[in-house]
Amino acid sequence: MKNSTYAACVVASAFMFATPVLADATAEGIAKYREALAEGNPAELWEMRGEELWKEARGPKKATLEKCDLGQGPGVVKGVFVTLPRHFADTGRVQDLESRLLTCMETLQGIPADEVAKTPFGKGEQKNIEALVAWISAESRGMKFNLPMAHPEEKRMYEIGKRAFNYRGGTHDFGCVTCHGEDGKRIRLQDLPNLTKGPDAARGFGSWPAYRVSSGELWSMQRRLNDCFRQQRFPYPMYGSDVTVALSSYLGVTANGTVESIAPAIKR
């Protein structure tokens, strides 16, 4: 299944620029389909679990995550999703939601961050992270992105992210920018957001985590980015690595103040 999708994508990418604009009726049909799915998004099942996990004493230290500081002070969850990635003084790093959760899990609960980072998506502690990000992102639903850019490290990560986004390489000379750098592109029936522009960046970045209809799983932003690297035929990035955080910084800052976050969304 994965292989066939992959092969189809190689073909699709070759035709990407040649395809005409979607027929209105089809576009309308797809829009109706998406609308019908928005009600009763199975991501809610992950949200429920995430809220419980936040309050559950776990790990070697038998502690909850309720003292975790996601940027607005220990325990504050409401509204934090739309301010990440940001710089954290205690780690001296710019962190996205997931890398920050790793810090909290390690310091508060004693769960080793590097082991969680090595765990495949959808397994073990990664499953718990998926639930946590579903709930935490839902607590910012309807808010606009407002990533801070005051700290020099935040500015630096934004610039690195911008370069990574525009960097082309690999067997197909691909970069994020190949598919997401102009208006009006699509692959088969998927309209591709122009992630260099605010509203599209907010719609793209502000949809993840999302329930993936095709796999029936909840995909975090890290997992989404990991798959972007795969599609570019790049080596997989390490979970929570700087390049992934930098890309999120670039997308998030670009999205600032435009369209409201709908995460966790539902995606085909």
Partner 1 sequence: MAGPMRIRAASNGTETEVKILMSHDMETGQRKDASGALVPAHHITELTATHNGRVVLAAQFGPAVSKNPYLQFKFAGGAKGDKVNVSWVDNKGDKRTDEVVVA
Partner 2 sequence: MNTQRREVLKSGSAAGLFGLLVAAGLITTQQAQAAGWDKPAFEAKAMDEALKALGAGKPADSKDVQISGPDIAENGAVVPVGVKSALADTEFIAILIEKNPSMLAASFTLPAGTMADVSTRVKMGQTSNVFALVKAGGSFYMVSKEIKVTLGGCGG
Using CB under 8 A, list all residues that contact partner 1: 39-40, 42, 44-45, 48-49, 211, 216
For partner 1, which is the closer residue by CB, 49 or 267? 49
| Other residues' Cβ atoms within 10 Å of the Cβ of residue 39 | 7
For partner 2, which is the closer residue by CB, 151 or 185? 185
**Binder of partner 2 out of 29, 74, 124, 169 (CB under 8 A):** 29
> What DSSP assignment string belongs to 26-64?
HHHHHHHHHHHHHTT-THHHHHHHHHHHHTS-BTTTTB-
| Other residues' Cβ atoms within 10 Å of the Cβ of residue 208 | 24
Binding of partner 2 by 55 (CB under 8 A): no
- CA 216 to chain centroid: 17
The 228-257 contact track toward partner 2, x by CB under 8 A, reads x--x--------------------------
- Taking CB under 8 A as the binding criterion, the range among 43-51, 97-105, 117-125, 243-251 that sits at the site for partner 2 is 43-51
Among positions 187-206, residues that touch partner 2 (CB under 8 A) are 187-190
Catalytic residue list contains 104? no
Rg of the Cα atoms in the chain: 18
Beta strands in the chain (DSSP E): 86-88, 93-95, 185-187, 190-192, 210-212, 217-219, 265-267
The 161-190 contact track toward partner 2, x by CB under 8 A, reads ------------------x------xxxxx
**Binder of partner 2 out of 12, 143, 238, 259 (CB under 8 A):** 12
Distance CA 5, CA 99 (A): 29
CB 58 within 8 A of CB 64: yes
| Other residues' Cβ atoms within 10 Å of the Cβ of residue 227 | 14
For partner 2, which is the closer residue by CB, 5 or 91? 5
Query: Which residues sit at the interface with partner 2, rule CB under 8 A?
Result: 5, 8-9, 12-13, 25-26, 29-30, 32-34, 36-37, 47-48, 51, 138, 179, 186-190, 212-214, 216, 224, 227-228, 231, 267-268
Catalytic residues: 228
